Chain A
């Protein structure tokens, strides 16, 4: 911020604009779900917000018997979590596609189990569809190899930094695995009472489940011909299936390079006047 605000005419021009408002004139109106920081940084990165986009699906998650003493993936539940998210995401992408967007930034993916009806959950994807001022330096399009707008769950700040470093998002990739961790038998539990010991069975179960989720996420990124995945979160979501059944969910943004070097400017050190 090198120029003084007063030289830019702030706040006089702002007040003038407010005095010249033309009510009812529907111009190139856009709505956005971004925070102010994100909104400004996305603009600075060369993208204009078009509209808030969302997709939703209310889904009945099936039921699957678990074997009390067996470590196992619950495929029915895994498929449900996957399919319902996919439905919400693809509806959001369809909205953005209709708007002619290049991508969707700041995507949030939420699941809410409903109070009415058992096993009903709403899966919702919300983001801001954006259009680029210019095509990418690679000469192709910002859209990914499926011809759809890219999606990214990165914050506006991360999105800006990513582009600055010469990468572009391709799409959000995810992997899910709902896993049932075996209960231990009475004798085994008694056998280790009071001891500090590893429970290999549990360790192995958690390893298996996470690896499955991550491998599935990687497979999705490979389909998009991505170079890598950034901002990966690996979540353990207990949902409402009791202590032994957990969804392991991996999600991140697959990226591709826009140029060969990936250097960003040297940051300046600042001493903030606030704690936060």
Chain B
């Protein structure tokens, strides 16, 4: 073991990649179909690549109440105060937590791309990114894995592309004139003060059918902010469109003071930025009606 200063690639990865770059051996995580499809659009796999970061989440979120934090008022809290999202200011609500998540995902992705670059690749397809808690409390491991590919021809991209789409999907997109740019995340955490109206509406003994406007507002804020973050990132990369792969939402309770509970919503959007390279109609798909003859087609 050497003391690695967390810049560039860890020594073990550097060694493996240098050896892979000088060897004729090619590894790939692709399926046979994926590999064949990519071959048609001129992408050849050059090797399996990985990027990883283990980081400590030192600060799980701000423990205060969803109202009084950003607004100086204390004591009397009027009903209907809107939720605070992690984008409202750099210390608002859960901003440091969200920053840590972004950093985890994006560092894993960039380390993976660094390996791919060392292999002389143009991009990485079929990326899977996972986040897992290690045995130790608040230690998280982020891992990105994928297959580095090189494009036929002399033209090289400025930055390597990355996508969690499968080989087949990438081939279809490229055939239709779209190229993946990068995997993107949009993350937001919103917190809302549970006011009197919210508590009344959510009362479990109530026989009434009512919407709980406070909670609806909370999830709407979290999602809207996550979507905004996502779109901003897509635009930042210069991509002109995006396909969302997954959108998840988690809600939990916090107890900022005795007997008082607030609710927190976390929204995570994962997707791919795309760029169109054929503006003409000719490069779009030209579907053929086919009927596959396979077992079980009834």
Q: Which residues of A contact B (CB under 8 A)?
A: 1-3, 5-6, 8-19, 21-37, 39-41, 43-44, 49, 52, 54, 56-64, 76, 79-80, 83-84, 87, 114, 116-120, 122, 126, 160, 264-275
Contact residues in B for A63 (Cβ distance below 8 Å): 205-207
Q: Is there an interface contact between A268 and B289, defined as CB atoms closer than 8 Å?
A: yes
Query: In the assembled complex, how far is the CB of residue A44 from the closest CB belonging to chain B, in whole angstroms?
Result: 5
Residue in B202, B242, B251, B293 whose beta carbon sits within 8 Å of that of A60 in the complex: B202
With most chain A CB atoms within 10 A of its CB, the pick from B41, B204, B215, B218 is B215
Query: Once bound together, how far apart are the Cα atoms of A156 and B30, in whole Å?
Result: 25
Q: Is there an interface contact between A31 and B157, defined as CB atoms closer than 8 Å?
A: no
- Report the nearest A residue to B217, measured CB to CB: A58
Residue in A29, A122, A264 whose beta carbon sits within 8 Å of that of B289 in the complex: A264
Given A19-B157, A126-B247, A270-B291, check contact A60 B277 (CB 8 Å). no
Q: Is there an interface contact between A36 and B236, defined as CB atoms closer than 8 Å?
A: no
Q: Is there an interface contact between A10 and B42, defined as CB atoms closer than 8 Å?
A: yes
Which A-B residue pairs are the 10 nearest by beta carbons?
A18-B157, A58-B215, A17-B277, A118-B204, A21-B238, A14-B179, A36-B169, A267-B289, A80-B209, A11-B42
Query: Once bound together, how far apart are the Cα atoms of A76 and B43, in whole Å?
Result: 58
Q: Is there an interface contact between A271 and B288, defined as CB atoms closer than 8 Å?
A: no
Q: Which residues of B contact A (CB under 8 A)?
A: 32-33, 40-43, 122, 151-159, 161, 165, 169, 172-177, 179, 181, 201-212, 215-216, 218-220, 223, 227, 230-231, 234-244, 247, 249, 251-253, 263, 271, 275-278, 282-295
Query: Once bound together, how far apart are the Cα atoms of A271 and B158, in whole Å?
Result: 40
Query: Once bound together, how far apart are the Cα atoms of A116 and B176, in whole Å?
Result: 46
Query: In the assembled complex, how far is the CB of residue A120 from the closest CB belonging to chain B, in whole angstroms?
Result: 6
Contact residues in B for A160 (Cβ distance below 8 Å): 287
Residue in B42, B156, B165, B236 whose beta carbon sits within 8 Å of that of A23 in the complex: B236
Given A27-B240, A29-B231, A32-B241, check contact A12 B293 (CB 8 Å). no
